[in-house]
Amino acid sequence: MTDVLPIPAKPLRARVDVRSSRRPWPLLKGRRIGLHVAALALLLAVLFPFLWMVQMAFRPADDVLGDALLFRPTLENFASLWQGTFPRSFVNSLLVSTLSTATSLALGVPAAYVLSRWCFRARGRVSLWILATRMAPPIAFTIPFFLAYRWVGLQDTVIGLALIYMTFNISIVIWFMQTFFAAIPKALEEAAWIDGCGVWQAFWRVTLPLAAPGLAATAVFCFIFSWNDFFFALILTRTNAITAPVAITNFLQYEGWEWGKIAAGGTLVMLPVLVFTLLVRKYLVRGLTAGGLK
Amino acid sequence: MTFFNLTGASLGWEHSRRRAYLAGLLPALVVLGAITLLPALFLLAVSLTPLSLVKPGTAFDFSDPLGNYRELLWDGRFHNSVLLQLHLSTVSVALQLAVGLGVALLLNVRSRFFEAIRAAFLIPMVLPPIVVALIWKILYTPDVSPLYRVLDSVGLPVDSLITDPALAIWAIGVAETWQWFPFTMLMVLATLQLIPDDPLEAARIDGANRWQVFRHITLAYLRPALVVCGLFRLIDSFKAFPLIYVLTNGGPGSATEVTNFYGFIEAFNFSYWGYASAIAVIMLLGVFAVSWLVGRLGWNEVHHD
């Protein structure tokens, strides 16, 4: 990294390592510092609303709305959440998200593999249908599901909620895993076939282990999308299977405006998501456009 | 592989392979069909009836199949909701694209420091939507918000944005922009990595100034990504729910009652299931029209070539 690229037009600026920046104009030192400061200031301004809620969660109950930056942080708000029905909703969220992720992977991964390997005539139409389910507004699914669940008694159950989450999770799995399988050379499976493996044996022993990082990322995305859902859970659950995001809004409506609890609940709900997102940051672009790719 | 195909044994293998593929694909398609196609057909059927759970006998009443749709034509509240939806979507998508592009250009520097900053900028987008709504509820509630207190103390008291019929929709647009500008930022940054250095270098040597290079080269490379990004966000903006539910609940009056929210109210507050289904069907058609546009523009070609 010590060699300097010659810049014919402006030799004086050649001292700055041009490759550290993709800008057409290499930055001078003063400007570089300015840029760092500007970026940091912008970041703080953008994250201010978020940071404010987090600090509210740690304020003592009698000073939740205070704005003195120096205060003694306390876990009071979290403790009072622990005593209510909130832990149960948290467990429900975990159950629903895990259940829905597991079943969507079990169904979607083999299907994604087949779609990446087998060019049959209706393939384009199947893909289009899966894309359409990703785009459809949730209310279009909620109305029929709500009416059907009243009929079969799946209202306010973890299984019922996990089932409706599969409407988006299966299509995410299929779209996302297809791109990973497509990147794995077919020759490897063909070698396994010649050695006497069946199609699914070769898939299980050769292809799937190679796609493991993609599988992990897909699982994380399914989990996050299920965990983040608010609309379906609001409509399809009441008390029994209520999830954490819906449970927080109860603090807004029935028990008055308990800002400390709201902030603490919000902080708890976003915690797993932030941790998981850090793990799959590399795949974020692909994950968020799943369904738009190919 | 051709000489394998000539033998009888490989034909048998070909056959069993196809069967194995079918066994892997069918379960997913059957389940997906049962939970997406069936509900869609059910929705369409319900939209042709005046179904209301409080009125018995309305469930299978197909005597006036297009009644709901005819009523939609004359429902001012529905028209208002569509206009509001377009207003909100246009404002927030335009803002997201502008802010996302600007931030991406500022942060497009290769260094550890900027990598960390870029990652931190993604936080709003990955937060659970309900948490985003709560964060903005805190900011927009005058007694609670630090911003209102600051404005108050410097002698510039401002009325609550979310209870002002003219401003509430803008307040929601701002919150939505905060939540989703990182999406555009991420896409623009990814696309910037794909721009070759040569044209930039060449333009600079030819004497183009910064603005000209940006306008004629960088932006030309970014345009397809921005278009697709905008369409993606447009589709998702039709679904925005938690922000409106928590911040304004459709009010004041019906000032923030977008189509999605109107459908929700008709179904779950008024129990007019048939009518709400008709609204959902219209929304589905709108979303598919935009999706079709995404398909026509070929996201994959523009982004991965």
Closest CA to A49 of B106, B161, B165, B144: B144
Task: In whole angstroms, give the CA distance from residue A29 to residue B296.
Answer: 46
The pair of three-digit structure tokens given for residue A7, joined into one six-digit string = 């810049």
Architecture of domain B69-304: Orthogonal Bundle (1.10)
Residues B260 and A139: their CA atoms lie apart, in Å, by 7
Of A20, A52, A53, the CB nearest to B110: A20
Stretch among A19-28, A197-206, B3-12, B203-212 having the lowest mean pLDDT: A19-28
**How many angstroms separate the CA of residue B166 from the nearest CA in chain A?**
23
Ranges of H-type helices in chain B: 2-6, 8-32, 38-47, 67-74, 76-107, 112-121, 123-126, 129-140, 146-153, 168-192, 197-205, 210-213, 219-237, 242-247, 259-268, 273-297, 299-304
Contact A282, B190 (CB under 8 A): no
Region of B242 on the Ramachandran plot (φ > 0 left; ψ -120 to 50 alpha; else beta): alpha
**Across B222-231, average pLDDT:** 86
Judged by CB atoms closer than 8 Å, whether chains meet at B39 and A199 is answered as no
Fold of A83-288: MetI-like fold (1.10.3720)
For the record, the structure tokens of A123 come out as 């393939």
In this prediction, residue A285 carries a pLDDT of 65
Q: Do A36 and B106 touch (CB under 8 A)?
A: no
| pLDDT on residue B3 | 45
| Amino acid code (one letter) for B1 | M
Beta bridge mates, B55: B52
DSSP-assigned beta bridge partners for residue B272: B52
Q: Which two tokens stand for residue A110?
A: 């083999």
Interface test with B, best of A120, A143, A226 (most B CBs within 10 A): A143
Residues of A in contact with B146 (CB under 8 A): 52, 67
Residue A71 DSSP label? -
pLDDT confidence tier of residue B8, bands split at 50, 70 and 90: low
- CB-based contacts of A237: which residues, under 8 Å, 6+ apart? A92, A155, A156, A161, A243, A246
What is the pLDDT, as a whole number, of residue B210?
Answer: 82
Tens digit of each residue's pLDDT, chain A (294 residues): 333 333 333 333 334 444 444 555 555 677 788 888 999 999 999 999 999 999 888 888 777 777 777 777 888 888 888 888 889 999 999 999 999 999 999 999 999 999 888 887 777 778 778 877 878 888 999 999 999 998 898 889 999 999 999 998 998 898 888 888 888 888 888 888 888 888 888 889 888 888 888 898 889 889 999 999 999 999 999 888 899 999 988 887 655 678 888 899 999 999 999 888 887 777 776 666 554 433
For residue A196, the SS3 value is: coil
pLDDT at A233: 93
With 0-12 / 13-18 / 19 or more C-beta atoms within 10 angstroms meaning exposed / middle / buried, residue B106 is middle
Sorted by sequence, the CB contacts under 8 Å of residue B305 that are 6+ apart come out as none
CA A239 remoteness from chain centre: 25
pLDDT for the residue numbered B253: 81
Rounded average pLDDT over B216-234 = 86
pLDDT in tens, B99-145: 999 999 988 888 888 888 888 898 998 899 999 999 999 888 887 88
**What pLDDT does B1 receive?**
44
Enumerate the β-bridge partners of residue B109.
A21
The whole-angstrom distance between A9's CA and the closest CA on chain B is 6
Give ranges for CATH 1.10.3720.10 in chain A: 83-288
Q: What is the pLDDT of residue B191?
A: 85
pLDDT value for B180: 92
Please indicate whether, in this complex, the C-beta atoms of B144 and A111 are within 8 angstroms of each other: no
Report d(CA A247, CA A233) in Å as an integer. Answer: 10
Beta bridge partners of A21: B109
pLDDT at A27: 58
For an interface test with B, the pick among A100, A128, A135, A195 (most B C-beta atoms closer than 10 Å) comes out as A135
